[in-house]
């Protein structure tokens, strides 16, 4: 336990009494962190197939194995709500399939985020037949339906994705770019946040972008001054063209900290393969047949993951890190972007991130109660099991922790 | 008269009657544009010395000659309110000197703009001894004092200058950058516009920037959504590194037209010398002993001025073009940026701009009244003298012009 993580920890005093109210004095007590408050996540699109058992048994067993390796380390997950896939035919959304996935993940104690409610890429192609007024209504209806249908299962949403480029996106025509051109960047953000907030007032709402330049800073500044209820600043960090490194990472953290809002690293990629050439501007333009993971680059990935996760965990405003692809299988651009190889075997990066989360930043202490039944301990924030002999009690360690009394 | 300038013109019917109310029938009438509604301007910092006669007689005569060449062509001017020069010692502003300049220019029918109320460059150095709270108060006091003192003389202000770079400006410490870091970009703009609007509710308030990238677009978008009462988007166009050309100019006009606000080209530079190398990022870093004007480059400048002014005059949202340096004498960076050479001799660009404003885009027509005393004419918007024999009357031609009756 080091001071650099003091903001992630708290000290707490607990009084233990027995069923008759007498102090449990001089007893050995174990305090074990069962779930971090900090969100360590990955996108878990496979959960849809696993929860719905919609693939053949061999494939299902393979995906279940992958998901178990996920559950061994992580406590948060991003589920896919890309409109063109979620509702390929208008009026026939994949609500049930996604609800099954969400329920299963929730039963495994995973905190969920839906991604995204509004985005120009992978949006519904049938918007193209509509007027802007109709597109706006369809988008509002979609938010109203999906945020309602998942309330209690998913209370965290990437409301709108990649707005910096949205109105000037020119790869292909789409309904959301059209709408953003009419409403303006701040205008479309404002509308979508207002609607999402209205439908789920207690949800955590993110603005998310891959643009980490001054553009995104000014956009956030404008939104906040315009009263847009942004809860969290989402920063994508797909580093196919090489690890940003400490200096750039700290510079970005510094610039986006000025708003005083929590920051989530929503989509992190560090590959265990060769680096994409720097001249590629849109990562989607890099199409190669094979992008292998190699032992040498797996070591590099592990080192980069350790440094980056450590820098982010140290920063007081960062509350979540999501690695975008948990496994190389099916990764975006075919990149070896996962913590697992295509065959589900763990890379060194998996071991590193598991060690960080489950050992280095973990709390599992044994203390002894005094003659008044009191114990004091310090640990990482999150959910705990307190075990004393064959009795146990669960509680949550918060930053400002009052003294508690537990009966065991 | 061509259709491409239809938005700058109006058709008007006038009935002329004599002192007894009888139609002035069958008479020849001259209609002469005396002042364009469009603002063709330059910065006229020399007006301070001329109006205050604060230089020796030879120098005064030279500056008066320069100013007369200005009056021959232009109808708007920018006066300097750089805080470090306007109030070098706190509490001793150059109010009277500037008022004399403003009164003199106004007597010559010139529309004035003050530049700027807030800027990190050339701000008062004595702000550095203050806390941010004190800086904010001093800046508010400055706005309140100066906008009040010049009300009626100057009702157009560059409220705040170059905010995109303001909080990250790192060439030297200054009070305004500090303040912008605390308030944020939209925050400082909001405060300064609110204060200026409060002090002069009818003033025309500009946001002004040299940054024409997506940064400035997003900043404006944020400000407008946050309710900042921006009247005009100010765009600087110092083209020391070469004329932008039609394509870039039209692209910029297109992007900044989305807001539907009037656009002023507030600081235009096209030199009649060699082009500053493209690798210079901050124009201030280009320091050379001599930057001569040459006949060859003067021809190039004249062509560029003609094309650029024509493109801007054609665009319906552009309402003003200010050439930053009217003469090479004392021009920023020593650049041959003027319409006049250092000895006040006119360059070809002066003749071009004079021809455009005073001939090509001018209205001076002779019509004959019918037997009811009616005449109809079409002309560029602005102030007119109507002359009939030895009688004359003045009026303003507006876009939506009702029929008028004048008694002569």
Q: Which residues of B fall within a CB distance of 8 Å from A215?
A: 214-215, 218
Contact check, Cβ <8 Å, B164/A214: yes
Contact B271, B243 (CB under 8 A): no
CA–CA separation, B179 and B131 (whole Å) = 9
CA angle B243, B249, B250 (to 5 degrees): 150
3-state DSSP of A55-110: CCHHHHHHHHHHHHHHHCCCCEEEEECCHHHHCCCCCCCCHHHHHHHHHHHHHCCC
Whether the per-residue pLDDT at A255 is higher than 60: the answer is yes
Q: Which residues of B fall within a CB distance of 8 Å from A184?
A: 221, 224-225, 258
pLDDT at A401: 76
- pLDDT tens for B275-319 read 999 999 889 899 999 999 999 999 999 999 999 999 999 999 999
* Residue A132 to chain B, least CA–CA distance (Å): 16
- pLDDT tens for B380-397 read 999 999 999 999 999 999
Size of interface A-B (CB pairs under 8 A): 68
Q: Which of B168, B222, B258 is facing A221, going by the closest CB pair? A: B222
Query: What value of ipTM does the predicted structure carry?
Result: 0.87
Residue-averaged pLDDT of chain A: 96
- Which residue of B222, B223, B227, B229 is the best one to mutate when testing the A interface, meaning the one whose CB has the most A CBs within 10 A? B222
Residue of A nearest to B187 (CA): A225
Contact check, Cβ <8 Å, B218/A258: no
Contact check, Cβ <8 Å, A214/B168: yes
Whether the per-residue pLDDT at B1 is higher than 50: the answer is no
- Which residue of B178, B180, B186, B230 is the best one to mutate when testing the A interface, meaning the one whose CB has the most A CBs within 10 A? B186
Give the pairing type, strands A404-407 and B391-397. unpaired
pLDDT at B143: 98
Q: Which of A218, A224, A225 is facing B215, going by the closest CB pair? A: A218
Can you tell me the mean pLDDT for B350-372? 97
Residue of B nearest to A213 (CA): B215
Q: Which of A164, A185, A225 is facing B190, going by the closest CB pair? A: A225
pLDDT at A402: 79
Contact check, Cβ <8 Å, A221/B186: yes
B258 close to A (CB below 8 A): yes
Contact check, Cβ <8 Å, B164/A190: no
- The first and second tokens of residue A188, run together, are 């479309």
Whether the per-residue pLDDT at B330 is higher than 90: the answer is no
Contact check, Cβ <8 Å, B187/A225: yes
pLDDT at A1: 45
Contact check, Cβ <8 Å, B225/A223: yes
Whether the per-residue pLDDT at A2 is higher than 60: the answer is no
pLDDT at B313: 98
A223 close to B (CB below 8 A): yes
CATH class (in words) of the domain with range A38-360: alpha beta
pLDDT at B252: 98
Whether the per-residue pLDDT at A365 is higher than 60: the answer is yes
Q: Closest by alpha carbon to B208, among B104, B304, B118, B108? A: B118
Helical axes B185-199 vs B175-183, angle rounded to 10°: 110
Contact A331, A325 (CB under 8 A): yes
Phi/psi at B95 (5° precision): -55, -50
* Residue A154 to chain B, least CA–CA distance (Å): 30
Whether the per-residue pLDDT at A3 is higher than 90: the answer is no
- Which residue of B180, B181, B184, B215 is the best one to mutate when testing the A interface, meaning the one whose CB has the most A CBs within 10 A? B184
Q: Is B40 helix (H, G, I), strand (E, B) or coil?
A: strand
Ramachandran region of residue A200, left (φ > 0), alpha (ψ -120 to 50) or beta? Answer: beta
Q: Which residues of A fall within a CB distance of 8 Å from B207?
A: none
Let me know how long chain B is: 408
Helical axes A132-149 vs A175-183, angle rounded to 10°: 110
B215 close to A (CB below 8 A): yes
Contact B27, B368 (CB under 8 A): yes
Can you tell me the mean pLDDT for A35-57? 97
- Which residue of A186, A189, A252, A255 is the best one to mutate when testing the B interface, meaning the one whose CB has the most B CBs within 10 A? A186
Q: Which residues of B fall within a CB distance of 8 Å from A223?
A: 222, 225
- pLDDT tens for B129-167 read 999 999 999 999 999 999 999 999 999 999 999 999 999
Residue of A nearest to B259 (CA): A184
Domains A3-34+363-407 and A38-360 share a fold: no
Contact check, Cβ <8 Å, A184/B214: no
How do the domains of chain B map onto residue ranges? Answer: 3-34+363-407, 38-360
CA–CA separation, A162 and B246 (whole Å) = 31
Contact check, Cβ <8 Å, B218/A223: no
A254 close to B (CB below 8 A): no
Global confidence as pTM:
0.92
How many Cα atoms occupy the beta-carbon half-sphere of B247 within 13 Å?
Answer: 0
Q: Which of B214, B226, B258 is facing A222, going by the closest CB pair? A: B226
Q: Which residues of B fall within a CB distance of 8 Å from A214?
A: 164, 168, 215
Whether the per-residue pLDDT at B2 is higher than 60: the answer is no
How many Cα atoms occupy the beta-carbon half-sphere of A42 within 13 Å?
Answer: 26
Q: Which residues of A fall within a CB distance of 8 Å from B185?
A: 218, 221
Contact check, Cβ <8 Å, B225/A187: yes
- pLDDT tens for A368-399 read 999 999 999 999 999 999 999 999 999 999 99
- Which residue of B189, B209, B214, B252 is the best one to mutate when testing the A interface, meaning the one whose CB has the most A CBs within 10 A? B214
Q: Which of B168, B218, B258 is facing A222, going by the closest CB pair? A: B218
* Residue A303 to chain B, least CA–CA distance (Å): 32
CA–CA separation, B218 and B216 (whole Å) = 5
- The first and second tokens of residue B116, run together, are 């700027």
pLDDT at A318: 98
Q: Which residues of B fall within a CB distance of 8 Å from A225?
A: 184, 186-187, 190, 222-223, 225-226
Q: Which residues of A fall within a CB distance of 8 Å from B226?
A: 222, 225-227
* Residue A313 to chain B, least CA–CA distance (Å): 25
- pLDDT tens for B233-277 read 999 999 999 999 999 999 999 999 999 999 999 999 999 999 999
Contact check, Cβ <8 Å, B219/A222: yes
- pLDDT tens for A67-104 read 999 999 999 999 999 999 999 999 999 999 999 999 99
- pLDDT tens for A109-167 read 999 999 999 999 999 999 999 999 999 999 999 999 999 999 999 999 999 999 999 99
How many Cα atoms occupy the beta-carbon half-sphere of B38 within 13 Å?
Answer: 30
Chain B, window 153-172: residues with a beta carbon less than 8 angstroms from a chain A beta carbon: 164, 168
Residues 6+ apart with CB under 8 A from A373: A15, A16, A17, A22, A23, A24, A25
Question: What is B3-34+363-407's CATH number?
Answer: 2.60.40.1120
Q: How many CB atoms lie within 10 A of CB A128?
A: 13
């Amino acid at each position: 336990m080091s001071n650099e993580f003091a903001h992630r920890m708290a000290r707490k005093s607990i009084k233990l009494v027995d069923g008759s109210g007498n102090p449990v004095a001089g007893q050995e007590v174990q305090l074990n962190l069962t779930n971090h408050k900090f969100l360590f996540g990955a996108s878990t699109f496979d959960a849809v197939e696993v929860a719905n058992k919609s693939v053949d048994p061999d494939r299902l067993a393979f995906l279940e194995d992958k998901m178990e390796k996920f559950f061994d380390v992580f406590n948060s997950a991003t589920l896919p709500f890309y409109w063109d896939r979620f509702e390929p035919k208008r009026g026939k959304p994949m609500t049930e399939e996604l609800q099954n996935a969400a329920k299963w993940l929730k039963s495994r104690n995973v905190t969920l985020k839906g991604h995204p409610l509004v985005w120009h890429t992978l949006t519904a192609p049938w918007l193209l037949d509509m007027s802007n007024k109709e597109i706006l209504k369809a988008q509002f209806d979609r938010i109203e339906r999906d945020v309602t249908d998942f309330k209690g299962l998913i209370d965290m949403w990437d409301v709108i994705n990649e707005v910096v480029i949205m109105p000037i996106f020119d790869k292909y025509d789409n309904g959301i770019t059209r709408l953003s051109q009419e409403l303006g960047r701040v205008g479309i953000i404002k509308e979508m946040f207002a609607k999402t907030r209205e439908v789920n007032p207690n949800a955590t709402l993110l603005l998310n972008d891959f643009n980490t330049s001054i553009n995104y800073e000014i956009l956030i500044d404008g939104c906040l001054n315009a009263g847009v209820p942004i809860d969290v600043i989402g920063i994508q960090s797909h580093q196919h063209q090489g690890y940003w490194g400490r200096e750039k990472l700290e510079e970005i953290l510094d610039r986006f900290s000025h708003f005083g809002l929590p920051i989530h690293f929503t989509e992190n990629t560090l590959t265990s393969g060769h680096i994409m050439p720097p001249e590629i501007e849109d990562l989607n333009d890099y199409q190669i047949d094979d992008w292998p993971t190699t032992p040498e680059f797996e070591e590099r990935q592990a080192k980069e993951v350790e440094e980056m996760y450590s820098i982010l965990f140290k920063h007081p405003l960062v509350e979540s890190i999501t690695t975008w692809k948990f496994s190389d299988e099916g990764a975006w651009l075919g990149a070896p972007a996962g913590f697992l190889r295509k065959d589900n075997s763990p890379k060194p990066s998996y071991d590193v991130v598991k060690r960080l989360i489950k050992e280095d930043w973990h709390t599992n202490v044994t203390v002894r109660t005094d003659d008044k039944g009191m114990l004091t301990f310090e640990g990482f924030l999150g959910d705990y099991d307190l075990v004393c002999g064959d009795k146990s009690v669960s509680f949550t360690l918060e930053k400002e922790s009052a003294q508690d009394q537990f009966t065991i």
